[in-house]
Amino acid sequence: MAQMQAAVLHKAGDLRLEEVRAVERPESPDDVLIAMRAVGLCGSDVHYWLEGRIGHFVVEKPMILGHECAGEIVAVGDNVRHLRPGDRVAIEPGVPCRTCRYCVEGRYNLCEHMRFYATPPVDGALTQYVSHPASLVYRLPDSISYAEAAMIEPFSVGLHACRRGNVQPGRTLLVSGAGPVGLLAMMAAQCFGATRIFVTDVKDDRLGMARRLGAERTFRADSEDLADQVREATGGHGVDIVLECSGAPQAVRQSVEVARPGGTVVWVGIGPASFEFPTLVVGLKELDVKGLFRYMNTWPASIELLEAGRLDFAPLITHHFGLDQVLDAFETTRTQAGGAIKVVVDIE
**Domain co-membership, 50 together with 168:** no
Query: Do residues 173 and 145 both lie within one domain?
Result: no
Q: Above 80 in pLDDT, residue 80?
A: yes
User: pLDDT tens-digit profile of 103-155?
Assistant: 999 999 999 999 999 999 999 999 999 999 999 999 999 999 999 999 999 99
Determine the pLDDT at residue 271.
81
Nearest to 8 by CA among 130, 115, 131, 118: 118
Rounded distance between C-alpha atoms, residue 240 and residue 242, angstroms? 7
Residues 89 and 195 placed together within one structural domain of the fold:
no
Determine the Cα–Cα distance for residues 182 and 246; give it in Å rounded to an integer: 8
Residue 301 lies in a domain: no
- Closest by alpha carbon to 117, among 248, 9, 29? 9
Q: What confidence tier does 1 reach under pLDDT thresholds 50, 70, 90?
A: low
Position 318 in a domain: yes
- Percent of the chain scoring above 90 in pLDDT: 96
CB 160 within 8 A of CB 187: no
Residue 328 has a pLDDT of: 98
Residues 190, 269 within the same domain: yes
Residue 308 maps to a domain: no
- Bridge partners (DSSP) of residue 95 are 115
Query: How many CA atoms does the CB half-sphere of 16 hold within 13 Å?
Result: 8
Summarised one tens digit per residue, pLDDT across range 164-187 is 999 999 999 999 999 999 999 999
Determine which helix (DSSP H) or strand (DSSP E) holds 280, and give its type and residue range.
Answer: helix 279-285
Same domain for 140 and 25, yes or no, is: yes
H or E, element range at 106: none
Question: What is the CATH number for 56?
Answer: 3.90.180.10
Q: Give the angle subtended at the CA of 29 by the CAs of 154 and 25, to the nearest 5°.
A: 75
Instruction: List phi, psi (to 5°) of 251.
Output: -70, -35
Q: Are residues 223 and 267 in the same domain?
A: yes
Residue pair 220/308 in contact (Cβ under 8 Å)? The answer is no
* Statement to judge: residues 13 and 35 lie in one domain: yes
pLDDT of residue 309: 96
Based on the fold, state whether residues 242 and 208 are members of the same structural domain. Answer: yes
CB-based contact 263:240 (threshold 8 Å): yes
Please give the mean pLDDT across all residues of the chain: 97
pLDDT at 170: 94
Q: What are phi and psi of 82, to 5 degrees?
A: -95, -5
Does residue 159 form part of some domain? Answer: yes
CA dihedral sign of residues 225, 228, 234, 237:
positive
The yes-or-no verdict on residue 272 having pLDDT over 90 is no
Q: Is residue 305 part of a domain?
A: no
pTM for the predicted model, two decimal places: 0.96
Give the count of domains, the chain.
Answer: 2
- Torsion sign (Cα): 86, 87, 91, 95: negative
CATH of the domain at 225: 3.40.50.720
Establish how many alpha carbons lie within 13 A of residue 54's alpha carbon, considering only the half-sphere containing its beta carbon. 15
- Residue range 187-226, pLDDT digits in tens: 999 999 999 999 999 999 999 999 999 999 999 999 999 9
Per DSSP, the chain holds a count of helices (H) and strands (E) of 11, 20
* Bridge partners for 68 per DSSP: 40
| pLDDT class of 348 with cuts at 50, 70, 90 | confident
Give CA separation, 143 vs 139, 149, 308, 345, in Å: 12, 10, 10, 20
- 66: domain range? 3-151+313-346
Q: What is the pLDDT of residue 273?
A: 77
The torsion region of residue 218 among left (phi > 0), alpha (psi -120 to 50) and beta comes to beta
3-class SS at 217? Answer: strand
On whether both 24 and 49 belong to a single domain, the answer is yes
